[in-house]
Amino acid sequence: MMPSSVVTNTFKQLALGAVCACLISCATSPTGRSQFILISPDAAIIESETAYLDTVRQLDEEGKLVSDPLTVARVARITGQLVSKAVTDYPESADWKWSVAIVDDTDTVNAWCMAGGRMAVYTGLFDQLELTDDEFAQIMGHEISHALANHTAERMSRAMATSLGVAMIGATSDNSGVAVAGAAAVATVALTLPNSREAENEADIMGMILATKAGFDPEAAVTLWQKMGDLNDDRPAEFLSTHPAPENRQAALNAMIPSMLKINPDRKKPPIHPVEIVRES
């Protein structure tokens, strides 16, 4: 966060430099898509770890971390098999602090994975969707792919660019209070923004490949979204507020199945990579 004592002229220089950086900052995703990146993946991992630890600390204080042995074993096994293929295909992720918090919240149908392999799974996924292992693997393959493709850094960059726009307005008008307010919001906004439609489609492709390589049924991606589409207004899925419409996603995923079936026809599963389950303190 920028301190309030920053003088306007200094802020003008910083904002101008940052805007110039915006004009030249780009990267390429694993699928070849051009990405707008203002913050390095390593920096995104650091920021994500801080946000994650704060989140799980609060969950722990509220008594919402699940420790049921059967649920823990299931989540650790499936995520561990997915991570095993992730670190094989993306060696830079081998040093990530892969972990997952299982959140006792039957009303929330959601899961996510931050930069650096920090994950969360909500029990509403299992209670409301009655997931098979293959369907759960498709969800987590998708979420892990967001992290592998540096989508967290993309979201943070979007938030940063928005804040810089506010900063430039403040600097131009000599209103440093406006500029500081915009900068202060970046860290909070960045980690709560939805992924772009392009990022969601990319995670669909990468996630299905990852789950298939890990020995899970690619057709489960279609049945998963059929279940998502069947959720009614009384049981809203967090996924549905940020992801493409279920019927559109089903059609796109279904078209991928023939090529997916050639990847791992024997459904061979890899060794389980260690994934820390976040426990109650």
The 10s digit of each residue's pLDDT in 161-182 is 765 544 433 444 444 343 333 3
Check residue 18 and give its pLDDT: 46
Distance CA 122, CA 101 (A): 8
CA distance 221 to 9: 53
The two beta strands, 99-103 and 118-122, are parallel
Both tokens of 6, joined, read 């920053």
Whole-number pLDDT of residue 31? 81
What pLDDT is stored for residue 2 in this prediction? 34
HSE-up of residue 167 (Cα within 13 Å, Cβ side) = 29
- Residue 7's pLDDT is what? 34
Q: Which of 83, 102, 74 has the alpha carbon at shortest distance from 274?
A: 83
Q: Which residues of the chain fall below pLDDT 50?
A: 1-24, 165-187, 235-236
- pLDDT, position 243: 58
- Report the alpha-carbon distance of residue 55 to residue 78 in Å, rounded: 23
Q: What is the pLDDT of residue 141?
A: 98
Task: Compute the distance between CA of residue 186 and CA of residue 162 in angstroms, rounded to an integer.
Answer: 8
Q: Which residues contact 227 (CB under 8 A, 6 or more apart)?
A: 129, 130, 131, 135
Q: How many CB atoms lie within 10 A of CB 240?
A: 15
**Distance, CA of 1 to chain centre:** 23
Of the candidates 112, 100, 121, the residue with the CA atom closest to the CA atom of residue 275: 100
Identity of the amino acid at 9: N
